[in-house]
């Protein structure tokens, strides 16, 4: 089990790296995270939702993601409440206090998921959440040391040296653990290192002497590997300038944005400069994208209050393409209705009026893998839907024809477009992951500038990226010693 001294120390990436390393070493591997809190979700083949980071880890293992790998997903909708998803299906929205009371009922189900994975694999690499030293949450813990106890798993504790204070992080965490919890910790990993390792060595010696645990490696910071982020847009991608010789794409940073990894493949195109924007500016991009959100009405109101409504219209008038994905598609319509107060305390909110679509929120949540055809170009697309609302019979042209949902043939339309295709929206997450459609979209923006089409999309090779990640981490961790710990041949020193 990989636990961390805090959120954001790199647990998810290290789990993905170890998953790929163990697979390379000939083992059958699966990831597991009992509880994840993120609006960045993935839909499994059976329609169940899990955290996208766990789905990425499953890809590193070379296996299909399943709901057993992340049985509890919390999708924050406000600062004090979240939608609770159990075994891939929504239960209800709960306040933090309600969820605390609900957690003990989940332990048996979590145990069953973990045992099934252990039965079918040689190694299960478990990810913790936040820190195991949150003493106020110890009694209700279901994701850190309680999971390690259920699995009888050795724990490797990760600290982030890039934020400073890594020795205090690790020593302090060990001090706050109970004696039986400390006994599970077999060693430390220091992550995101920059600098001269020799200068760090005295600190490593202090840490080992102070805790009686070995440092199993110091993993350097990297920039040459593209692994999806877990649940937050990196700060370096927010705002900033863009080169004039590339297509400029702005993505609005909603407070409750979901599935921002929808744009990773688009960002990887060499002629695209993509950034996330928190407030409107003077710059008119080639394309302005409204992404998905867990709180459509609240984020739409914030959009209007921040001046983005006028900015969207100004960008369209000055030649930009305006795109809405899922909740962003709903915002571009004429009206969002929530008669059952499914998502908001308000019954309705006017949309931006750029697409002829009315959204009605319903109790039933739609989650499915889908396939279809983009009507404007004839390109085939695949992706997944995660939404509560349905668009009522748009009068304008649909964007996609859906040919399969959840593995079953269908013939339905999705999304809408207007203004000669310069405004469009879709419920399909992952639409830009489709190389032919992605290149069609970017080449259309190039044509608006009078630039020639490139026609060939940049290939996205996840396997190659996982192999690069594994090589990077393997070079800086004592993998042989970790194998011995796994075989229970080595306890604490």
**What residues act catalytically?**
326, 429
Number of alpha carbons in the 13 Å side-chain half-sphere of residue 4: 21
- CA-wise closest residue to 417 among 335, 352, 324, 296: 324
- Provide the token pair at 107: 């332990």
How many other β-carbons are positioned within 10 Å of the β-carbon of residue 340? 11
How many angstroms separate the CA atoms of 424 and 275, rounded?
20
How many angstroms separate the CA atoms of 258 and 386, rounded?
10
Residue 32: φ, ψ to 5°: -155, 135
Residue 186: φ, ψ to 5°: -100, -15
- Provide the token pair at 349: 């909110």
How many angstroms separate the CA atoms of 9 and 3, rounded?
9
Instruction: Say if residue 403 is exposed, middle or buried (CB neighbours under 10 Å; 0-12, 13-18, 19+).
Output: middle
């Amino acid at each position: 089990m990989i636990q961390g001294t805090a959120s954001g120390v790199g647990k998810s990436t290290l789990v993905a790296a170890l998953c790929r390393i163990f697979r390379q070493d000939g083992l059958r591997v699966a990831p597991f995270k009992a509880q994840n809190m993120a609006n960045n979700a993935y839909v499994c083949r059976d329609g169940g939702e899990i955290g996208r980071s766990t789905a990425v880890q499953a890809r590193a293992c070379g296996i299909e993601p399943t709901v057993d790998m992340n049985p509890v997903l919390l999708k924050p909708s406000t600062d004090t409440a979240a939608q609770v998803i159990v075994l891939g299906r929504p239960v209800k929205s709960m306040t933090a206090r309600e969820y605390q009371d609900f957690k003990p009922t989940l332990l048996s189900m979590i145990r069953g998921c973990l045992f099934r994975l252990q039965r079918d694999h040689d190694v299960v690499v478990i990810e913790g959440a936040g820190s195991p030293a949150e003493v106020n949450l110890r009694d209700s813990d279901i994701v850190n040391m309680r999971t390690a106890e259920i699995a009888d798993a050795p724990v490797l504790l990760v600290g982030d040296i890039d934020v400073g204070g890594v020795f205090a992080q690790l020593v302090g965490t060990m001090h706050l653990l109970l004696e039986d919890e400390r006994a599970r910790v077999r060693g430390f990993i220091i992550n995101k290192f920059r600098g001269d390792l020799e200068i760090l060595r005295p600190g490593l010696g202090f840490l080992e002497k102070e805790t009686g645990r070995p440092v199993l490696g110091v993993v350097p910071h990297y920039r040459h590997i593209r692994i999806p982020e877990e649940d937050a847009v990196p700060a370096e991608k927010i705002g900033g300038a863009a080169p004039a010789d590339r297509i400029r794409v702005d993505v609005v940073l909603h407070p409750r944005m979901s599935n921002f990894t929808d744009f990773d493949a688009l960002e990887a195109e060499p002629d695209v400069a993509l950034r996330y924007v928190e407030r409107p500016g003077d710059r008119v991009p080639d394309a302005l994208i409204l992404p998905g959100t867990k709180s459509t009405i609240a984020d739409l109101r914030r959009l209007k209050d921040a001046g983005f409504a006028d900015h969207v219209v100004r960008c369209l008038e000055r030649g930009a393409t305006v795109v809405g994905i899922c909740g962003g598609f709903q915002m571009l319509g004429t009206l969002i209705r929530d008669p059952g107060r499914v998502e908001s305390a308000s019954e309705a909110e006017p949309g931006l009026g750029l697409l002829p679509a009315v959204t009605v929120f319903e109790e039933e949540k739609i989650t499915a893998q889908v396939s279809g055809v983009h009507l404007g170009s004839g390109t085939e697309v695949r992706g997944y839907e995660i939404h509560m609302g349905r668009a009522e019979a748009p009068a304008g042209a649909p964007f996609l024809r859906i040919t399969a949902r959840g593995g079953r043939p269908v013939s339905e339309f999705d999304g809408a477009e207007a203004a000669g295709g310069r405004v469009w929206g879709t419920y399909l997450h992952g639409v830009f992951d489709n190389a032919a459609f992605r290149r069609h979209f970017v080449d259309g923006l190039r044509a608006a500038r009078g630039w020639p089409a490139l026609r060939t999309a940049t290939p996205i090779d996840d396997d190659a990226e996982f192999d690069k990640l594994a090589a990077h981490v393997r070079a800086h961790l004592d993998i042989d010693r970790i194998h011995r710990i796994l075989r229970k041949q080595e306890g604490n020193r």
